[in-house]
Amino acid sequence: MSSCSVVSTGIDRNDGLKPMSDDGLVAAVQSGQEWAFVELCTRHSRRVFNTIYNVTRNREDAEDALQDSMLRAFLHMKQFDGRSSFATWFTRIGINSALMILRKKRIRPETSMDSTVEGETWQHWEIADPEEHYARCERSMHLKRAICHLPTALRSVVELGQMEGHSIKQIAHTMGISIPATKSRLTRAKVALRESMT
């Protein structure tokens, strides 16, 4: 029976009640109800994929790592002890799968890394600590969400400056405002983002 099949058991996932918690779904999977694993993956795959993509920077590699993560998670569900949330555990598996793909590429690179664009080498790609990298990815996603919630005038200044690399002068010209006004908006945006991040 595949991991995507719905097993007819004592727990009906369409019983009209509120959705089961992750803990309830984990318990269902551990008792042999494979549909619950499909539900867990449905809930968390997008977030895990985004984290994996931040590691691989390659969509195909990220998709491969996600598939590998689902398989590994399914095979090791009996060992999941609940010391962390399922989402965190699944994300760690995803990061490890992504790192394995990067290691394989390092061992058998498809192209020479001696002559990459702008002198980039594997030292720039290598990630020493998966936990640290995961925390960095989480902070980055939180920052992006915080930027999205800024007022439009502040968000535009941040996006032009931080994401597109424009200078203060270029931002002022693009937005049609003075340089002091641009600096003021950047300062206000930084204060708002700092408060949001803490």
CATH number, domain containing residue 155: 1.10.10.10
Alpha carbon distance 127, 84 (integer Å): 23
Of 5, 52, 47, 1, residue with least CA distance to 22: 47
| pLDDT, tens digit, 9 for 90 and up, residues 53-86 | 998 888 999 999 999 999 999 999 988 988 889 9
Q: What is the CATH number of the domain that holds 32?
A: 1.10.1740.10
By the 10 Å C-beta count (0-12 exposed, 13-18 middle, 19+ buried), 7 is classed as middle
Q: Domain check: are 118 and 157 in the same one?
A: no
Q: Domain check: are 57 and 155 in the same one?
A: no
| 43 — pLDDT class (breaks 50, 70, 90) | very high
User: Is the Cβ–Cβ distance between 132 and 179 less than 8 Å?
Assistant: no
Q: Domain check: are 101 and 184 in the same one?
A: no
Is the pLDDT confidence value at 26 over 60? yes
| 101 — pLDDT class (breaks 50, 70, 90) | confident
Query: What pLDDT is attached to residue 130?
Result: 59
Mean pLDDT of 84-98: 92
Domain-located, residue 144: no
| pLDDT, tens digit, 9 for 90 and up, residues 172-195 | 888 888 989 888 888 888 888 888
Q: Domain check: are 174 and 81 in the same one?
A: no
Joined tokens for residue 188:
């206000």
| pLDDT, tens digit, 9 for 90 and up, residues 189-198 | 888 888 877 6
Distances (CA, A) of 80 to 19, 21, 102, 130: 21, 16, 26, 19
Joined tokens for residue 53:
């993509």
Residue 140's φ and ψ, nearest 5 degrees, are -65, -45
Of 23, 91, 90, 82, residue with least CA distance to 55: 91
Query: What pLDDT is attached to residue 22?
Result: 92
Q: What is the pTM of this model?
A: 0.48
Q: Domain check: are 118 and 172 in the same one?
A: no
Is the pLDDT confidence value at 110 over 80? no
Q: Domain check: are 18 and 85 in the same one?
A: yes
Report the percentage of the chain scoring pLDDT > 90.
30
Q: Domain check: are 34 and 113 in the same one?
A: yes
Domain-located, residue 68: yes
Query: What pLDDT is attached to residue 123?
Result: 46
Neighbouring CB atoms inside 10 A of 8's CB total 9
Q: Domain check: are 117 and 164 in the same one?
A: no
User: Is the Cβ–Cβ distance between 142 and 197 less than 8 Å?
Assistant: yes
Is the pLDDT confidence value at 2 over 50? no
Is the pLDDT confidence value at 49 over 90? yes
Containing domain of residue 171, as a range?
149-198
Neighbouring CB atoms inside 10 A of 13's CB total 17
Domain-located, residue 142: no
Q: Domain check: are 38 and 100 in the same one?
A: yes
Domain-located, residue 23: yes
| 52 — pLDDT class (breaks 50, 70, 90) | very high
Q: Domain check: are 124 and 164 in the same one?
A: no
